[in-house]
Amino acid sequence: MTCVIVGASSGLGRALAEELARGGHPLVLVSSDARDLLPLASDLTVRFGAAVRTVAADAAEHAGLAAALDRAVPSGQPITALLFPVGAVEQRDDGWLEPELAERLVRVNLLSVSSVVGRLLPRLISQGSGTIVGFGSVAALRGRSSNVLYAAAKRSLESYFESLRHLGEPRGLTVAFYVLGYLDTQLSYGSRLLLPRADPKRVAKRVCRALGRERGRRYVPWFWYPAGVLLKAIPWAVFRRLNS
Amino acid sequence: MSFDGAVRRLESVARPDRYRQIEQLPPDAPRTVRGGGYSYAPASFGARTTVQRTRDFNRVLSLDPENGILECEAGLTLGQLHSVATPHGWYLPAQPGYPLITIGGCIAAEAHGKNHFRDGTFRRRVLALDLFHPAHGILRLTRDSHADLFELTCGGLGLTGQILSATLALDRLEGTRVEIRRVSLGRLEEAVPLLEQWAPKSRFLYTWHNLSVSGASFGRGFLYTGDFRPESGLARDGGERFTPITAEDRGRWRVCLLNRATTVLFNAAYELAQRASSRVRVLSLFEFLFPVARKVAYYELFGRKGLHEYQMLVPVESFEDLAATLRRGLMRFGVPIALASCKLFKGERSLLRFDGTGICLALDFPRSSGSERLAGFLDGVVREARGLPNIVKDSRLPRETVEACYPGYESFRRSLRAFDPLRLYRSEISERLGL
Ligand SMILES: Cc1cc2nc3c(=O)[nH]c(=O)nc-3n(C[C@H](O)[C@H](O)[C@H](O)COP(=O)(O)OP(=O)(O)OC[C@H]3O[C@@H](n4cnc5c(N)ncnc54)[C@H](O)[C@@H]3O)c2cc1C
Ligand SMILES: NC(=O)c1ccc[n+]([C@@H]2O[C@H](COP(=O)([O-])OP(=O)(O)OC[C@H]3O[C@@H](n4cnc5c(N)ncnc54)[C@H](OP(=O)(O)O)[C@@H]3O)[C@@H](O)[C@H]2O)c1
């Protein structure tokens, strides 16, 4: 029954938490600051009667996070889903980022996911069921001059989820990876964008409706699929001019 | 953009959604807290500061279903609170008429409902507040601890700091339907005796007046008295769907459809429709508490230029003279009064709160060349009547009128400066009123 959400305190993660609480799932919510997690947990408990545990941990310390989560998810309880709407960007991520910050981006956006999955995978496999959901970004469709390492980490994540499908599906697991367009959240707030931002609540509804049934890579909102195909088809000589 | 369409400014707006982001601004940076943005006047922007929205801080922190005590973050909207509390048999009396107004906005503007004579203003519901101010950190305010700051913050126009959360005392719900009875009244002056007469028998009470008719029946209209329908139980509310309107899109129609001719027509049509309909109507509590939710077209009629809502609270003794002054004086401005409505108030005056005892009269009229002069004339009328103008409803209210009408002006200003010598929290209102 339990769903684990890493990156639950805001944006899409918060919307997913609300949607799953409404659906009656016990939740384990993770983000870096208890001040944000506790009000959210109370809210979901009051409004939906949900059983909510919280884990406040820095995702950059991914091994510690994985261990903390392993302890927080009660061992007798089946895990229905692991969802990873965690993500962080860095303003100066333009290719010249200091090594410490660069490493941090990779830890938060990639290694936090692989470490937690690695730690909980044995439990999922022994259950013989469970869903793992990752979130990529259209920012990683092509290389860019901003969010350089963020995009690199997200593309790695996509590759990781494809591998995870190989690993998980024969053992009864469902693995889904959503390539997300721009969302109306803090992560993209204030930036100028060509295509509209999606409401994280709608994206969360969309993801939860298909939870456990949908597998593989999906684009959300849907129009990013054709947009992505187009974007990838643009030859380098043209693309470099667009991306100035 | 202010809801009345009068003030439009380009400002940097932050939309924090984690607590550390509220604290991220440099501690000496001036700022403005913005709730739903439903103040008619620029109460939550307009001072060239960083505007911080509270919309993502809208979580319910606890609900005691036995005693009706609810703790929530200040960005929770009245509609959200309604949907959490009613299933447990509780509701919040003393709330303004639009569901997207926030708890923080109600506290800061000391809002009232259609039941002031019974339930007073919003402050009466507030048991405790958590207030953030960069120079003071997070303070828990109650009537016992930091009592002065509690008083200053309730009705403090967001100038003492950011309210993070509030503990509210709800009232028991005696039904989810409200029965409204209509009583005719022949002229504006009759509002007073009728309101007084119905007050002991009503839970909610207000009037509607047609100010487009001249002569003896100027201000004829209706009194509406409402109470819970006891047998209705916790039936489905049904009215919670509505299309939201914001201050920014209220004025999406370029032109104002309310001129003298159409106003006469609209008012007459409303009167006729009322007379033709049954004297008793039953509404869901949601529809009753938030009548505007599904009637936002009314505000759109005022078009891009917008409207004035002049709301005043005058002593009962002054009302007769006031009505006579309006009857004689209004015509000369050539400004159509789209809406006129009275409520009965029983409270005490203090600081800058729109509270006290008397008749609360609200007048809506379109913004036009003559409207500023009319509003100026009304300033004089309120002063003459020893009344109070509502500060959050008027984008032009001059400082001298506020100083003259509110005996608590100086004491509010002094206490605020003592608490916050740098005056970090600002708005167009605070600048205009010299606070
Ligand atoms: C359709 C409509 C109907 C209305 N009906 C009524 C009515 O019946 N009775 C009535 O009294 N009023 C009524 N009002 C006015 C409204 O209740 C007040 O203006 C209220 O303050 C709006 O709250 P808001 O959340 O939109 O806040 P805003 O308009 O954004 O802000 C209002 C004030 O509150 C402050 N504020 C907001 N949140 C916080 C916070 N967390 N901490 C500190 N300060 C904060 C702001 O700084 C500002 O000074 C109505 C308004 C509209 C548009
Ligand atoms: N917004 C967009 O336009 C967009 C577009 C495409 C893809 N995406 C992806 O969609 C997902 C959701 O994004 P969002 O817009 O909802 O972002 P968001 O609002 O910024 O939420 C990100 C979540 O991750 C958590 N997080 C970040 N760094 C963390 C750390 N070091 N330790 C622990 N938790 C951390 C955050 O919690 P704390 O900060 O409180 O710790 C927060 O809960 C992300 O994977 C993002 O990359 C977003």
Q: How many domains does chain A have?
A: 1
pLDDT at B236: 52
- The predicted complex's ipTM stands at 0.94
Helix (H, G, I), strand (E, B) or coil at B129: strand
Q: Do B60 and A42 touch (CB under 8 A)?
A: yes
Q: Do A47 and B84 touch (CB under 8 A)?
A: yes
pLDDT at B386: 96
pLDDT at B242: 85
CATH of domain B177-398: 3.30.70.2520
Query: What are the backbone dihedrals phi and psi of residue A150, each rounded to the nearest 5 degrees, phi first?
Result: -55, -50
**Whether the predicted pLDDT of A119 surpasses 80:** yes
pLDDT at A192: 75
Q: Pocket of ligand 1, candidates B1, B100, B101, B391: which has the most ligand atoms within 8 Å of its Cβ, to mutate?
A: B101
DSSP states along B11-61: -EEE---SHHHHTTS-TT--EEEESS---SSSSSS-SSSEEEE-TT---EE
Q: Are A207 and A161 in contact (CB under 8 A)?
A: no
Identify which ligand lies nearest to the alpha carbon of A83: 2
Collect all residues of chain A within an 8 Å Cβ-Cβ radius of residue B61.
39, 42-43, 46
Assess whether the C-beta atom of A182 lies below 6 angstroms from ligand 2.
yes
Q: Are B314 and B386 in contact (CB under 8 A)?
A: yes
Q: Which of A33, A40, A43 sits opposite B20 (nearest CB)?
A: A33
Give the residue range(s) of CATH 3.30.70.2520 domains in chain B.
177-398
Q: Pocket of ligand 1, candidates B1, B13, B39, B168: which has the most ligand atoms within 8 Å of its Cβ, to mutate?
A: B39
Assess whether the C-beta atom of B5 lies below 6 angstroms from ligand 1.
no
Separation CA B95–CA B126 (nearest Å):
12
b/e B118-138 (16+ beta carbons within 10 angstroms → b) = bbbbbbebbebbbbbbbeeee
Helix (H, G, I), strand (E, B) or coil at B234: coil
Of B274, B273, B276, B293, nearest in space to B284 by CA = B293
Angle between helices A112-127 and A148-168 (to 10 degrees): 10
Domain CATH code at residue A188: 3.40.50.720
Query: A–B: how many Cβ contacts below 8 A?
Result: 40
Please give the distance, rounded to the nearest whole angstrom, from the Cα atom of residue B122 to the centre of ligand 1.
11
Please give the distance, rounded to the nearest whole angstrom, from the Cα atom of residue A79 to the centre of ligand 2.
22
Q: Do B59 and A42 touch (CB under 8 A)?
A: yes
Q: Pocket of ligand 2, candidates A38, A62, A86, A220: which has the most ligand atoms within 8 Å of its Cβ, to mutate?
A: A86
Separation CA B137–CA B272 (nearest Å):
57
Task: Tell whether B11 is within 8 A of chain A (Cβ).
Answer: no
pLDDT at B226: 95
Task: Tell whether B369 is within 8 A of chain A (Cβ).
Answer: no
pLDDT at B301: 94
**Whether the predicted pLDDT of A244 surpasses 60:** no
Task: Tell whether B63 is within 8 A of chain A (Cβ).
Answer: yes
Of A12, A30, A43, which to mutate for an interface test with B (greatest number of B Cβ within 10 Å)?
A43
Q: Which chain B residue lies closest to A31 (C-alpha atoms)?
A: B18
HEC states along A72-102?
A: HCCCCCCEEEEEECCCCCCCCCCCCCCHHHH
Instruction: State pTM to two decimals.
Output: 0.96
Task: Tell whether A43 is within 8 A of chain B (Cβ).
Answer: yes
Separation CA B205–CA B180 (nearest Å):
9
pLDDT at B237: 53
Q: B285 to chain A, minimum CA–CA distance in Å?
A: 20
Separation CA A19–CA A5 (nearest Å):
12
Q: What is the mean pLDDT of residues A178-193?
A: 88
Q: Are A33 and A104 in contact (CB under 8 A)?
A: no
pLDDT at B243: 84
Identify which ligand lies nearest to the alpha carbon of B98: 1
Q: Pocket of ligand 2, candidates A105, A180, A192: which has the most ligand atoms within 8 Å of its Cβ, to mutate?
A: A180
Kindly report, residue by residue over A141-166, the tens digit of the pLDDT. 999 889 999 999 999 999 999 999 99
Task: Tell whether A64 is within 8 A of chain B (Cβ).
Answer: no
Separation CA B5–CA B251 (nearest Å):
7
Q: Do A33 and B19 touch (CB under 8 A)?
A: yes
Assess whether the C-beta atom of B288 lies below 6 angstroms from ligand 1.
no
CATH fold group of domain B50-173+408-432? 3.30.465
Give the residue range(s) of CATH 3.30.465.10 domains in chain B.
50-173+408-432
Burial category of B249 from C-beta neighbours within 10 Å (exposed 0-12, middle 13-18, buried 19 and up): exposed
Assess whether the C-beta atom of B157 lies below 6 angstroms from ligand 1.
yes
CA A14 to each of CA A20, A40, B78, B93, B164: distance values in angstroms, whole numbers, following the listed order:
10, 8, 21, 30, 19
Q: Which chain A residue lies closest to B21 (C-alpha atoms)?
A: A186
Q: Are B69 and B167 in contact (CB under 8 A)?
A: yes
Collect all residues of chain B within an 8 Å Cβ-Cβ radius of residue A39.
57, 59, 61, 73
Task: Tell whether A186 is within 8 A of chain B (Cβ).
Answer: yes
Please give the distance, rounded to the nearest whole angstrom, from the Cα atom of residue A88 to the centre of ligand 2.
5
Task: Tell whether A47 is within 8 A of chain B (Cβ).
Answer: yes
Separation CA A54–CA A32 (nearest Å):
10
pLDDT at A243: 66
Assess whether the C-beta atom of A231 lies below 6 angstroms from ligand 2.
no
Each residue's pLDDT expressed in tens, for chain B with a length of 435 residues: 999 999 999 999 999 999 999 999 999 999 999 999 999 999 999 999 999 999 999 999 999 999 999 999 999 999 999 999 999 999 999 999 999 999 999 999 999 999 999 999 999 999 999 999 999 999 999 999 999 999 999 999 999 999 999 999 999 998 889 999 999 999 999 999 999 999 999 999 999 999 999 889 999 999 999 999 876 555 455 557 788 899 989 999 999 999 999 999 999 999 999 999 999 999 999 999 998 888 889 999 999 999 999 999 999 999 999 999 999 999 899 899 999 999 999 999 999 999 999 999 999 999 998 999 999 999 999 999 999 999 999 999 999 999 999 999 999 999 999 999 999 999 999 999 999
At A54, list the tokens.
Answer: 């919280």
Assess whether the C-beta atom of A179 lies below 6 angstroms from ligand 2.
no
Separation CA B39–CA B290 (nearest Å):
16
Sheet holding B50-53, edge to edge: B12-14, B50-53, B31-34
Kindly report, residue by residue over A199-226, the tens digit of the pLDDT. 999 999 999 999 999 999 999 999 999 9
Burial category of B140 from C-beta neighbours within 10 Å (exposed 0-12, middle 13-18, buried 19 and up): middle
**H or E element at residue B70:** strand B69-73
Q: Which of A36, A46, A189 sits opposite B84 (nearest CB)?
A: A46
Q: Which of A47, A185, A189 sits opposite B60 (nearest CB)?
A: A47
DSSP states along B139-156: EEEESSSSHHHHHHHTTS
Angle at B63 between CA B62 and CA B66, to 5 degrees: 145
